[in-house]
Amino acid sequence: MSASTPANNGSRRRVVITGIGVVSPLGIGVEPFLEALKAKRSGVGVVTDVMDASAAPGNVGGEIPDFDDGVTKEAMPKKQRKFIKVMCREIELGVVSAMHAVQHSGLDLDALDRSRMGVDFGANLMFTPPEVLADAVAACAEPLPPDSAEPRRFQFERWGQKGMKMLEPLWLLRYLPNMPACHIGIALDARGPSNSLTMGGASGNSALSEAARIIERGRADVMVAGTTGTHLHPVRTINLGLFGELADGDGPPGTWCKPYDAGRRGQVVGEAACTVILEEREHAEARGATILGELLGFGSACVSQLDATGRLGEAVVVAGRAALRDAGLSPADLGHINGHGVATRDSDAEECRGYAKLLEGAPVPITGLKGFTGNAGSGSGVQELAASLLMLREGLIPVCLNHEFADADLGDLQFVSGDHRPHEGKTVFLNLNGTRGGQASAAIVRAE
């Protein structure tokens, strides 16, 4: 097999993308999302709806505009709308993105064999907002005299009798990371394989990989695959702030996140969900579907030290090479890389050291989407893949927004700077995401 011949053109079933549903700071739905990308318009701004205030400097983040329970209600089948009351915002984002993806794909659900349709979805660990637990926690604190200046201590032995009773009965169901897949499966009556992945920023490509393998093995013809997630949350934002990873800019908020730029100062928090409809190629062609792209290969890795410090750069190399082998391609076959690019000093530098080894001198341009959206953790990966796919169909590689100049820490690499770049006929790209813990996941896609 030559280096330019995709391995999945052989005996294994070919998997294509026929629908995209995106819920993003750039807008809800493919058209507003693509329009904002083409216009180089950032979705990062001062947060007004999700939180009144947060640990993020200036309360800046990538917030999804005009999203509330009404959006979810409109997207869901009527008989499932009662379930909205047990969905936190992250779950709602995922469900809405899946419903939009099905609509975008043109699938006739009534004509499908539902036993041949499955769901594979990724999510962050979902944290309960502090205000939901406040009264229950306060009830379990040790009593002190009114004039005492001592802090009240939480008494664990009181939780079962006092605290637990103050929580809403279905509290846990609102924050379980497997619930997006559950609600999507119920809403679509998808009776095929179903699974949930919780791998932080690496969830997206991994969910697509597992879904594609299910189709390749003949266990399903259609898979609903995606991710949802947020870092725009009081607990998560405090966590990132403690690590010193949050950007604090002095210009418009939309310029604060600078992936791979010499002036990068940290990440901006965001929220997002994105779903793609995967089909076996012959199944999609038989129903006359518009094929947006084909999945060619996948790879994943986790590299960390004995003290659990992640080594993202090494994981990038392992995951990227595995994806290239799986696709039967060489680095020179790639038209671009859509990278993790959270815009922190150390993470971007380590990631780029990995790209330098992976590319072996091939002049492959690198871009990143987080200047447009902020970092949504698990919600970012599929959204970024969708951005590359949609822009390539417009003849363009998306710009790495807010990137002007690279520094020596990033090595001798090419970045898509200033404006979108014509793809010049190279429509195969590598989508790569990672985590602070040293996980990386990679997907290679060809736009059609």
DSSP string, 322-384: HHHHHHT--GGG-SEEE------HHHHHHHHHHHHHHHTT---EEE-SHHHH-B-GGGTHHHH
- For residue 284, the surrounding DSSP H or E stretch is helix 281-286
Answer yes or no: are the C-beta atoms of 261 and 78 closer than 8 Å: no
Q: Kindly compute the dihedral angle of the four CA atoms of residues 201, 205, 209, 215, in this order, to the nearest 10 degrees.
A: 120
Q: What digits encode the pLDDT tens for the residues 278-312?
A: 999 999 999 999 999 999 999 999 999 988 889 99
Ranges 137-146, 178-187, 348-357: which has the least confidence: 137-146
Closest CA to 420 of 447, 380, 393, 382: 393
- For residue 188, the surrounding DSSP H or E stretch is helix 179-188
Q: What digits encode the pLDDT tens for the residues 139-162?
A: 999 888 888 878 888 999 999 989
Please provide residue 430's backbone torsions phi and psi, each rounded to the nearest 5 degrees.
Answer: -105, 125
pLDDT at 105: 98
The arrangement of secondary structure in 7-127+174-447, i.e. its CATH architecture, is 3-Layer(aba) Sandwich (3.40)
Q: What average pLDDT does the structure give for the chain?
A: 94
Ranges 11-15, 115-119, 205-209, 213-217: which has the least confidence: 11-15
Residues in the chain: 448
CB atoms within 10 A of CB 68: 11
Answer yes or no: are the C-beta atoms of 429 and 295 closer than 8 Å: no
Q: What digits encode the pLDDT tens for the residues 388-432?
A: 999 999 999 999 999 999 999 999 999 999 999 999 999 999 999
pTM reported for the whole predicted model: 0.94
pLDDT at 4: 38
pLDDT band at 7 (very low <50, low <70, confident <90, very high): very low
Is the pLDDT at 435 greater than 70? The verdict is: yes
**Cα 254-255-259 angle, rounded to 5 deg:** 110
Answer yes or no: are the C-beta atoms of 280 and 387 closer than 8 Å: no
Is the pLDDT at 219 greater than 60? The verdict is: yes
Is the pLDDT at 2 greater than 60? The verdict is: no
